[in-house]
Structure 1
Amino acid sequence: MDDTLTIMSMNIRDGAHGHLAELADLITAQDPDIVGIQEAKGWRRPWWSPRRHGKALRTVMEATGLRVAIYTPSRTHGCDLVTLIGPRIQPTGYRRNVGEGHLHHGASRVRFTIDGRPKEEVWEHLNTHFSPFSGAHRLIEASWLTEYAGAPRRLLTGDLNSDLPEKWGGIADPLNWDGLIPPNLRSRHLRPGPGHQPSDRDATALLIEAGWRSAHLDHVRQATVGHWHGSESWEHAPDHILVSSDLAADVLRHETLRPPPGVEPFSDHHAIVATLAI
């Protein structure tokens, strides 16, 4: 019996159309039990062409051998959420959107058991994507997910659009934002106010205070964004795998999956993966 559980998370940027084979290879190489995907644009419903309806989702499922546990249409930007599961995972219930439409993109929840484990040992996984535009909005979104930290065997994957507080292992702010975030976009990331304001990490701090723990603690923490061409080049880590406090000591591995030298990334976010002893 396999005594580990592997969880993966990735924002795939506009559905990864044109790069689905690369995405499938990345997933397959990790052999995950659960994959939380954000920005699955056009994966199930038509995006720019009706002929693409469902094609991307089927392509990735067939290439990886994973099944769909839950598909959550986003209420904004078509940034849908997808949770893919391996054959050991047996869903027992789900909610497509635990935020009831109040989250900028959405949040899903699936309850499951694991083959070979006692049936009364129930796990839960949440997958989400917080607002990119407002720290105040992210704080409200986090409040929808704090309650789930109280029970054992809980997992959360997502692009939370903010790093952890530095005291909880988050990457330190730079000494100057010039060249990293243009002034017109700083309200997305920084606390309001004049001058050199610190980054707004209240949402992730609220989750930690509620009992969630990062799977990366005591492991190497690397930036997952900042490598993409564009107007924001701040290297930080808004992508997270969080676990309930009872699982924190069981994390065996946490890794940021950066492509090897010379290989161009296909998303503005790197994937992350964690393995837990169970």
Structure 2
Amino acid sequence: MTWNILVGGQDRLDAIASVIRREQPDVLALQELKGWSARRARDFAGQVGMHAHLAPSVFGQPVAVLSRRAPARTRSITWRLHHAAAVATVGGLTVVSTHLNPFDPERRRREATWLSACFFRTRQKVLIAGDLNSLDPGTDHSEAVKRIAPRYQRRHLRPDGSVDTRAIQAMAAAGFVDVGRGIGPTVPTEGLRQDEFGDFRLDYLMASPPLAKLARYVSVRRDEVTDMASDHYPVVASFG
């Protein structure tokens, strides 16, 4: 499961925790953990029966990986990214929870290219999960981009005015598979709509080929609780 919980969850944390308990993910990638320390992440993880590894951010907001089993290895990437990346290896799976640059398409492309080069493994199960802030190359987004406020449109446009999808293209070119293709928008939620979002899919699960072959289903959890818990909907996948 991956979820951007909006500036640390604030007064929505009980609702967020209730969704996590309901879904019972084995591994959970969280983004936008403003104000969270490693201790706060551990406390929250304890409330939902999980272990936590939090990666702080120099310029943006922390991210984390939570898991049912204690991870065998963890790593935090706090440079070269606007936000951060938290990496945890649980069993035979390496999960990278990340949040790419929301403002600059070229910097976002560079972040995606670098992360892909760091973590792609032909024969290993790797998942890059999170708010990648990118539109996918398999969808016509031109009308959706036109409908958002002009000051936000440049986040999704190339210098020539065409829609920018290069972050996802970079990951696909490196070998990662977009296992959530076709699931529909993950922003905005019904209760916390913002004028910076069109009906976009910004939250992704990018899997290495051995993991992608095991994908059973991917879905966006839209209901009356997740409508109000964040401005992003959680994305849940099953592998096996």
User: TM-score if structure 2 supplies the norm length?
Assistant: 0.90
Residues 64 and 142 (structure 1), Cα distance of their counterparts in 2 relative to 1, 3 Å cut: same
Residues 131 and 212 (structure 1), Cα distance of their counterparts in 2 relative to 1, 3 Å cut: same
Equivalent residues in 2 for 1:185-224, closer than 5 Å: 185-193=152-160, 197-217=161-181, 220-224=182-186
* Residue of structure 2 in register with 1:137 after alignment: 107
Deviations 1:116-148 (A, max 9, x none): xxxxxx321111100001110011101221122
CA distance in 1, matches of 2:126, 2:134: 21
Q: Which aligned runs of 4 or more in structure 1 are off by greater than 6 angstroms?
A: none
Q: In the alignment, is residue 85 of structure 1 matched against residue 63 of structure 2?
A: no
1:94 is paired with a residue of what secondary structure? strand
* Residue of structure 2 in register with 1:37 after alignment: 30
Q: Percent identity?
A: 28
One-letter amino acid of the counterpart of residue 132, structure 1:
P
Q: In the alignment, is residue 10 of structure 1 matched against residue 8 of structure 2?
A: no
* RMSD between aligned residues: 2.0
Equivalent residues in 2 for 1:1-278, closer than 5 Å: 8-44=1-37, 54-55=39-40, 57-68=41-52, 70-77=53-60, 79-87=61-69, 90-97=70-77, 101-113=79-91, 122-147=92-117, 148-151=119-122, 152-166=124-138, 171-175=139-143, 177-178=145-146, 180-193=147-160, 197-217=161-181, 220-227=182-189, 228-260=192-224, 264-277=227-240
CA distance in 2, matches of 1:215, 1:233: 22
CA distance in 2, matches of 1:112, 1:235: 33
Residues 95 and 62 (structure 1), Cα distance of their counterparts in 2 relative to 1, 3 Å cut: closer
CA distance in 1, matches of 2:205, 2:144: 28
Say whether the 8 Å CA contact 1:224–1:236 is kept in structure 2. yes
Deviations 1:48-94 (A, max 9, x none): xxxxxx45x355323211111x21111124x111111103xx42222
* Residue of structure 2 in register with 1:51 after alignment: none
Number of aligned pairs?
A: 236
CA distance in 1, matches of 2:149, 2:196: 7
One-letter amino acid of the counterpart of residue 137, structure 2:
P
Q: Which is greater in Rg?
A: 1
Gaps of at least 5 residues in structure 2 are: none
Say whether the 8 Å CA contact 1:74–1:106 is kept in structure 2. yes
Say whether the 8 Å CA contact 1:256–1:273 is kept in structure 2. yes
Say whether the 8 Å CA contact 2:188–2:194 is kept in structure 1. no
Say whether the 8 Å CA contact 1:173–1:198 is kept in structure 2. no
Gaps of at least 5 residues in structure 1 are: 1-7, 46-53, 114-121
Deviations 1:144-191 (A, max 9, x none): 21122223211111100012211xxxx42143744x222222221111
Give, in angstroms, the shift of residue 204 of structure 1: 0.8
Say whether the 8 Å CA contact 1:72–1:81 is kept in structure 2. yes
